Amino acid sequence: MRRAAAAAVAANPQLLAGAVEAAIASRSPRLGRAAHARALRLLAPALPPFICAHLVNLYSKLDLPGAAAAALAADPSPTVVSYMAFISGAA
């Protein structure tokens, strides 16, 4: 089952974004970090902007400001959505 899920995520980055959203919904830093690690393995060296925005949102909502700042800094072209997620998590 895990191999099939990994193959599906590798084929579709939107599924990876869904994994990040699931980590947010479950309030699980462990799942969030696992999704982030998978994104780096599958999509490195450059993560798509929408994945970076999801990661900023993840770490902001999990109250991990250092990780959120690192995810924002790693985004080559941050969007307004990324900045707003970071700001809302810092408030």
What's the pLDDT at 41?
85
Structure-block tokens of residue 43: 């999509």
What's the pLDDT at 16?
87
Helices 2-11 and 13-26: crossing angle in degrees, nearest 10, is 120
Q: How many domains does the chain have?
A: 1
CA 77 to each of CA 18, 42, 50, 82, 91: distance values in angstroms, whole numbers, following the listed order: 21, 19, 10, 10, 23
pLDDT band at 56 (very low <50, low <70, confident <90, very high): very high
Structure-block tokens of residue 40: 């780096």
What's the pLDDT at 8?
56
Q: Is 79 helix (H, G, I), strand (E, B) or coil?
A: coil
Would you say residue 58 has pLDDT above 90?
yes
Instruction: List, for residues 14-43, the tens digit of each pLDDT value.
Output: 888 889 999 999 999 999 999 888 888 888
What's the pLDDT at 3?
63
- In this prediction the pTM is 0.79
Domain extent, residue 19, equals 2-90
